[in-house]
């Protein structure tokens, strides 16, 4: 069985790794990092020092927060692994995602590209299959994630996804609402998520 946690203590952040991202997104990522540190929530993230992920991790670390980066060896150069924080090097993307999932009590999704989409869809798919009940919070500035939410609703309307799936996450428009949403959340007993996911 998965962990049963009375409160959220560690948070995995999925987000973009591009330094070309909107500076407002980079500032928001840094604000989140500082907010996690202030709330004594450990940041679990993809291990890089670039883009939103780097901004979030550096800010959390500089604010005295606990940070764990998890990065595949082939991305160490491309994503400029942040060696100033605790980090683990794994063999591939699957191991990275599984370790991030295992170490986190909750998840935050910031703006990101195709890699973030892939991580989020898998995470919500596991939620749909009742493999976990960990809180998921989207930072959704100016409706950034609305096209994705609309696509999910489209699958519900087509009777391919159950309507209750639309309750699988919380979305907030302002970055300062993310940590309060996390602190209000509670994890529930997980199913045998690791066994099923690793078999996939």
What is the average pLDDT across 121-140? 95
Q: Domain residue spans in the chain?
A: 10-187
Class at the top of the CATH hierarchy for domain 10-187: alpha beta
pLDDT at 186: 67
pLDDT at 87 over 70: yes
Question: To the nearest whole number, what is the mean pLDDT of the chain?
Answer: 90
Nearest to 2 by CA among 197, 135, 188, 200: 188
Q: How confident is the model at residue 199 (pLDDT cuts 50, 70, 90)?
A: very low
pLDDT at 32: 98
Radius of gyration of the chain (CA): 16
> Alpha-carbon distance 125 to 186, whole Å?
20
pLDDT at 177 over 90: yes
pLDDT at 127 over 90: yes
pLDDT at 189: 44
Backbone angles phi, psi at 120, to 5 degrees: -65, -45
pLDDT at 6: 56
pLDDT at 78: 81
199: exposed, middle or buried (C-beta count within 10 Å: 0-12, 13-18, 19+)?
Answer: exposed
pLDDT at 4: 42
What is the average pLDDT across 22-41? 98
pLDDT at 15: 97
Q: Are 150 and 183 in contact (CB under 8 A)?
A: no
pLDDT at 76: 87
């Amino acid at each position: 069985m998965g962990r049963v946690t009375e409160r959220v203590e560690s948070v995995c952040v999925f987000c973009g790794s591009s330094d070309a991202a909107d500076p407002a997104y980079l500032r928001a990522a840094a604000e989140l990092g500082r907010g996690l540190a202030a709330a004594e929530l450990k940041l679990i993230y993809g291990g890089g020092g670039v883009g939103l992920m780097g901004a979030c991790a550096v800010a959390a670390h500089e604010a005295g927060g606990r940070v764990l980066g998890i990065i595949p060896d082939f991305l160490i150069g491309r994503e400029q692994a942040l060696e100033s924080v605790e980090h683990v090097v794994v063999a591939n993307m699957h191991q990275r995602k599984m370790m991030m999932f295992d170490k986190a009590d909750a998840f935050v999704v910031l703006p990101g590209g195709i890699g973030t989409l892939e991580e989020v869809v898998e995470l919500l798919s596991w939620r749909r299959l009742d493999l976990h009940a960990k809180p998921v919070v989207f930072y959704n500035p100016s409706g950034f994630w609305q096209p994705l939410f609309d696509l999910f609703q489209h699958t519900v309307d087509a009777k391919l996804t159950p309507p209750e799936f639309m309750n699988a996450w919380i979305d907030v428009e302002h970055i300062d609402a993310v940590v309060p949403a996390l602190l209000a959340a509670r994890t529930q007993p997980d199913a045998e998520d690791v066994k099923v996911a690793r078999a996939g």
